[in-house]
Amino acid sequence: NSAAPIQKVAVLGATGSIGTATAEVINHLNRVDSQYRWHLWAASGHQNLDRLIEIADAADDPPEHLVMSDPASAANFTSMDAVAGGAAPRPNSSSWPDSLAGTRISYGPDALIDVASAPEVDVVVASIVGRAGLESTLAAVQAGKRVALANKETLVVAGPLVRQAMLTSGAELLPVDSEHSAIFQCMGGAASACAPGHPSGHPSGPNADPHPAPRPKKLILTASGGPFRTWTKQQMSDATVESALAHPTWDMGPKITIDSATMMNKSLEIIEARWLFDLPAEAIEVVVHPQSIIHSMVEFDDGSVIAQLSPPDMKLPIQYALTYPRRLACPSPPLDRTRSWDLTLEVADQDRFPGLTLGFEVAAAGGTAGAVVNAANEEAVGLFLNGQIRFTDIVLGCRDVLEHHTHESAPTLSRLLELDRWARAETRQRFKL
């Protein structure tokens, strides 16, 4: 539909698991959406230029802008072609396809901020992993974009600052994380603080909604339980990297896969939910659901529980964040109702998975706690993947570093980033590394 208005999307972290799925969803939308044309306007990768070029080349319309966010990446190209108009030079690589002749490329973390806040961009998909996604996600929020948020670590580190920026700029923060997308859908989108543009996001004033959507009583996050759902603590203390990377239901990047095995992923999601939906930690629960079909549930005051179900495939929550409030045909498979299926729910075991307890504590504490635990976790996951610490050391390290820091209730961004560096160093020191 070439006459349709264009939705220009910037995908930050396009070379990752979520980013790659997003690029597929964008092409798919051009087959099924009669209202908009979808354009992968900008895409970033950190070090893998070949992969970034592959994604850009596969897009229906060539991107305007590519970003390699690792500043060292530019130095790796043996020769560069100058580009007219003062743009950054382009790698003189035979792999630069003709289809990208009009595409600019730039380098370094500031280039992420430039595309995240570019006036042309309608939607920013925040799919960088870890605290590295914070500045660009915040820039997109400050620029008043629709932000499709996969990068949960941004809310864990700086939830209150993101909320404040949303109120000032009118940005929409739409969850991509499947659990938070499920909750958003169970609330009908409306009661959520995610989309302040929605009428019921503004409960007072002359245009107040006469039937404002009720606030939920409880958010019930489901967890697959990961590869060690049935393992004893002793077994987990001897877990190999390979066994921790073998997730039973989801195919994801390495960091979140290890987080799922420790259940620190659920812990980060408790904190994410606390800020995304502006509910206290006491209103959040976790249940284990090994099939990953119920993506989360919401309980209301009358006891009614609403759940969202679909097969475990991130393309559905990604697409919903792009097209909300519209629902269009999606490339994820439908739920197969031609055979019987089990949906089991188990109590989450905080004794075997002490990371969960940490998540509830951090969600209740707010302030500097999220930045400290997130940094300790990122560092410890890296050390485990390198074979330098045991699997069970990851959560022990997070708890230790949290308890060694002096809590502050209203930190600035620069203070949070300082504590992020401190907590990484402290984690290494704890393991004498």
E-assigned strand segments in 197-312: 218-223, 284-288, 294-299, 305-309
46 counts as binding ligand NAD under rule CB under 6 A: yes
**Nearer to ligand NAD (CB atom), residue 13 or residue 366:** 13
| Closest residue to ligand NAD, based on beta-carbon distance | 16
Q: How far is CA 153 from the centre of its chain?
A: 7
Q: Dihedral sign for Cα 13, 353, 293, 188, please.
A: negative
The verdict on 15 binding ligand NAD (CB under 6 A) reads: yes
Positive or negative, the Cα torsion across 119, 108, 123, 32? positive
Alpha helices (H) in 65-108, listed in sequence order: 71-75
Q: How far apart are CA 323 and CA 148, in angstroms?
A: 10
User: Residues at the annotated binding site for NADPH?
Assistant: 15-18, 48, 151, 153, 253
194 touches ligand NAD (CB under 6 A) = no
**Secondary structure letter of residue 392 according to DSSP:** T
List residues bridging with 73 in a β-sheet.
none
Amino acid at 343: L
Q: Decide: is 150 part of the binding site for ligand NAD (CB under 6 A).
A: yes
Binding-site sequence positions for Mn(2+): 177, 179, 269
Contact between 79 and 94 under an 8 Å Cβ cutoff? The reply is no
**How is residue 423 written in tokens?**
């907590």
Which of ligand NAD, Mg ion, none lies near 151, with the C-beta cut-off 5 to 8 A by kind? ligand NAD
Restricting to residues 245-304, name those near ligand NAD by CB under 6 A.
Answer: 250, 252-253, 255-256
**Residue 272 in contact with Mg ion, rule: CB under 5 A:** no
Beta carbon nearer to Mg ion, 136 or 296: 296
Cβ atoms < 10 Å from Cβ of 332: 17
Q: Which does 250 bind (CB under 5 to 8 A by kind): Mg ion, ligand NAD, none?
A: ligand NAD
CA distance 121 to 254: 29
Is there binding between residue 152 and ligand NAD (CB under 6 A)? yes
Site string for Mg ion, 169-208 (x = CB under 5 A): --------xxx-----------------------------
Residue 358 near ligand NAD by CB under 6 A: no
Helix (H, G, I), strand (E, B) or coil at 384: helix
* Stretch touching ligand NAD by CB under 6 A, among 82-90, 121-129, 202-210, 351-359: 121-129
12 or 29: whose CB is closer to ligand NAD?
12
Binding site for ligand NAD (CB under 6 A): 13-19, 45-46, 69, 127-129, 132, 150-153, 177, 250, 252-253, 255-256, 314
Binding site for Mg ion (CB under 5 A): 177-179
